[in-house]
Homo-oligomer: A and B are copies of this chain.
C-alpha cells in the first residue's frame, strides 16, 4: 500500500482518528486478560450511552452490518413471522432477503421511486392491513442516501401496533444521525464499526431492548444459527461487563480496543451523558456544506427532498454529459476517494460522498473543503459547464 494516503470519503470505511488506528496495532493480548476485560466491558457501557439505551443489551462480535442482519433474523424471528420492511434502497431489499432466509414472511413497503421514501400514511395502512411481528427501518440507506424518520415511524408503530418489534438498521447512521433508542421505543438498533462509529471494519454491533432480548432468550423454536446466537453471547457480554473471563468465540481484540477508543470520543460529544450528541449537529452541518456546494455546481441530489436526505453521506447524480467513471477517476487523481452508485439499474447515474466521523467533526482537517475542491476541479477537467451565478 505504497504512496500517499488518499482521503477516504466513501460512505464507509471512513477516516479514523489517530488514536483509534494506534489501538489497532496493540500487541497480542489475551481475550481474557484483566486489562482487556476492562476495555471490552467499558466499551459495552459506552455503547449504551451512544445509543441512548441505558437498559438495552449490547452485543459486539466479529462481523459486519450484514452479519448483524443474520443476528437479528436468527434470534428474533420464528418461521412464518411477518415482517414489514420500510424500503428506501437496496440495503432494505438485502436485509429483507436475509430475514427471509431465517423464515421471515417479508413485505417490502416501497416508495414511489428511487430517492423517495414511503410516506407515514403508507406505513400506517400497511400496519393496519396485517399483523407484523417486526418492522425494519433503514435509518440511512447507503445506496440512496435517503434518511428515514425513525422517531416518527417508531411512534406510529408503538401507537398502532405496539407488539411489533421495531428494528433499525443504523449501519450508516449510528454515531452520526440522531438516535435515542430507548426514548423512541426502538427494540434493536444495529450497526457496523466502519461508519459513524469511527472504527475500522470488522465488527457487528447490536443494541437490543429488554423486550426483544426476552423474546430471543425465551425462543423455543429450533435455533437457526450458532455464531450469532444471543443465547450464546448474552452470558459472554454480561461477563465482559462484569470484568469476568468467559469464552464462546474469540473476540477481535484489537478492533474492540479501537472501538473503546473511538467511543471515548463519541461519549465526550454527549456532554454529561446527555441523550443528544454534538456529533449529530456536526454531521448535519457537514452534510449541508457538501450538499450546498454540489447544488451550487448545478448537480442534483438523489433524495427527492433535502428534508429526507441523510446527513452521513450525499448521493448525487452525475451531471448530464459527464462520464461517471471518468469523474470518479478525476476526483481520485486529486487525492480523494468517493464511491460510485450501488442501486441496481441506477448505479451508473450517480455517485456518493461519505462525510462521517472526523471528516464531519473536525473542520481543522479540511476534509470537506478538500473533497469539494477535488470534485470541482475534476468537473472542470472534464469540461463541465458550471451554472452561471
Assuming A1-B39, A253-B13, is B65 touching A62 (CB within 8 A)?
A: no
A25 touches B22 (CB 8 A): yes
- The yes or no answer to A31 lying at the interface (CB within 8 A) is yes
Chain A 112-145 interface mask (CB, 8 Å, partner B; 1/0): 0000000000000000000000000000000000
B66 touches A249 (CB 8 A): yes
Q: Which residue from B24, B26, B249, B252 sits with its C-beta under 8 Å from A1?
A: B26
Report the Cα distance A344→B226, complex, angstroms. 20
Report the Cα distance A173→B1, complex, angstroms. 29
- The yes or no answer to A174 lying at the interface (CB within 8 A) is no
B1 touches A257 (CB 8 A): yes
Total interface residues on A, using CB and 8 Å? 68
Chain B residues with CB under 8 Å of A249's CB are: 64-67
Q: How many copies does the complex hold?
A: 2
- The yes or no answer to A69 lying at the interface (CB within 8 A) is yes
B227 touches A63 (CB 8 A): yes
Q: Which residue from B8, B32, B248 sits with its C-beta under 8 Å from A66?
A: B248
Pick from A80-88, A194-202, A263-271, A377-385 the stretch touching chain B.
Answer: A194-202
- Please provide the chain A residues from 20 to 78 with a CB less than 8 Å away from any CB of chain B in the complex: 21-22, 24-33, 35-36, 39, 61-67, 69-70, 73
Q: Give the one of A36, A66, A203 with max B CB within 10 A.
A: A66
Chain B residues with CB under 8 Å of A225's CB are: 70, 101, 225
Chain A 262-305 interface mask (CB, 8 Å, partner B; 1/0): 00000000000000000000000000000000000000000000
Chain B residues with CB under 8 Å of A105's CB are: none
B227 touches A69 (CB 8 A): yes
- The yes or no answer to A165 lying at the interface (CB within 8 A) is no
Chain B residues with CB under 8 Å of A102's CB are: 226
- The yes or no answer to A12 lying at the interface (CB within 8 A) is yes
B24 touches A227 (CB 8 A): no
A170–chain B nearest beta-carbon distance, Å: 15
Report the Cα distance A70→B62, complex, angstroms. 14
B63 touches A63 (CB 8 A): yes
Specify the chain B residue showing the minimal Cβ separation from A337: B30
- The yes or no answer to A307 lying at the interface (CB within 8 A) is no
- The yes or no answer to A333 lying at the interface (CB within 8 A) is no
A36–chain B nearest beta-carbon distance, Å: 8
Assuming A226-B97, A227-B70, is B33 touching A342 (CB within 8 A)?
A: no
Chain B residues with CB under 8 Å of A200's CB are: 28, 252-255
Chain A 5-24 interface mask (CB, 8 Å, partner B; 1/0): 11010101111100001101
A27 touches B21 (CB 8 A): yes
Assuming A13-B253, A226-B73, A252-B200, is B22 touching A8 (CB within 8 A)?
A: no
Chain B residues with CB under 8 Å of A337's CB are: 30, 33
Chain B residues with CB under 8 Å of A360's CB are: none
Return 6 A-B CB contacts under 8 Å, by A number: A1-B39, A8-B30, A15-B27, A64-B252, A66-B227, A200-B253
The 5 closest A-B pairs by CB, nearest first: A202-B252, A66-B249, A8-B28, A98-B226, A25-B25
Given contacts A62-B203, A98-B226, 20 further A-B contacts (CB under 8 A): A1-B35, A3-B35, A8-B27, A10-B30, A13-B28, A13-B29, A13-B31, A15-B27, A15-B28, A21-B25, A21-B26, A31-B201, A64-B252, A70-B228, A101-B226, A201-B254, A202-B202, A202-B252, A224-B224, A247-B342
